[in-house]
Amino acid sequence: MIRTRLASAFGGPAGATALVVIGLACQEVGASIAVLLFPTAGPIGMVTLRLGFSALILVLLARPRLRGRTPGAWLTVTWFGLALALMNALFYLAIERIPLGAAVTIEVLGPLALSVVASRRWTAWLWAGLAAVGVVLLGQGSFGHLDPVGVALAAGAGATWAAYILLSARTGRSFPGLDGLAFAMAIGAVAILPFGIATTGAVLVRPDVLALGAAVALLSSTIPYALELLALRRLPAATFAVLMSLAPAMAALAGLVLLGQGFTWVGAVAVGLVVAASIGAVRTAPRPAPPAG
């Protein structure tokens, strides 16, 4: 019923575009809530709650089968889950130290670098140069003083995001539907759990923290992923990727409105350059060849 209503309300390219933007907004609102909870649960505690609730929801929805998987498939999904946990941990540790907009802007350099390396066109290096200018501007006090450790953590999250993309594609070829993501999320949740307990302790099971952790999981993972699935049925993959490139701008806006993290006009230009570079890389990337026959 809910899916039918969403499909009728957001049918067509314009509606699908709205779904992607709403999903991005949910992600950044979820990240903002997580930042507000850092004094109570800490960044690793919030990652533990996010992955734990996301895994629970996905397993209930997908009901993945354990049997019939090859050792290679299990190895791939295990690496995928570990990359998922590490990417989220590095990102949350980064936004503990630097503003949300700056962290996301630095993080998206990982997928951008992957697209540049994978492309054989000279224009890819043009977009890489544009992104580099944006990063240089980002360090000019545009978001205030950026903690070097926070910058390094955000860059690490970006590198892990690139690995996550590659492992996600391999997992998708080995597991149907949501099975691979459900297994990976569960593996990531189990991997991060000891660190969450060690850094946060009994705070993790406080009812108020559990409730807000569930909200972060829904906003940051479940709702965006569901909306993206609906949007991908109505939008070309290239258009979808362009829209996802707006994440740094959305994060900067969420940081300003929800966390009071201001930025200068130089910061706005820096974010704009990285967004433009991401969009340009997507638009000029070589299209996959059609299957033979």
| Model pLDDT, residue 291 | 39
| Cβ-based neighbours of 30, under 8 Å, separated by 6 or more | 50, 215, 216, 217, 218, 219, 220, 221
**Domain extents for the chain?**
10-284
Q: What is the 3-state secondary structure (H, E, C) of 195-223?
A: HHHHHHHHHHHCHHHHHHHHHHHHHHHHH
The predicted pLDDT at position 179 comes to 87
pLDDT at 181: 86
98 contacts 151 by C-beta, under 8 angstroms: yes
Q: Which pLDDT value is given to residue 15? A: 77
Give the pLDDT confidence of 197-239 residue by residue, as tens digits.
999 888 888 999 999 999 999 998 888 887 876 776 677 766 7
Residue 120 is predicted with a pLDDT of 67
Q: CB–CB of 246/77 below 8 Å? A: no
Q: If DSSP codes are grouped into helix, strand and coil, which group holds residue 85?
A: helix
Which two structure tokens, joined as six digits, stand for 25? 């907004």
**Residue 276: what pLDDT?**
87
**Regions of the chain with pLDDT less than 50:** 1-3, 6-7, 288-293
For residues 276 and 282, give the distance between their C-alpha atoms in angstroms, rounded to a whole number.
10
pLDDT at 170: 85
Query: How far is it, in rounded angstroms, from Cα 82 to Cα 62?
Result: 20
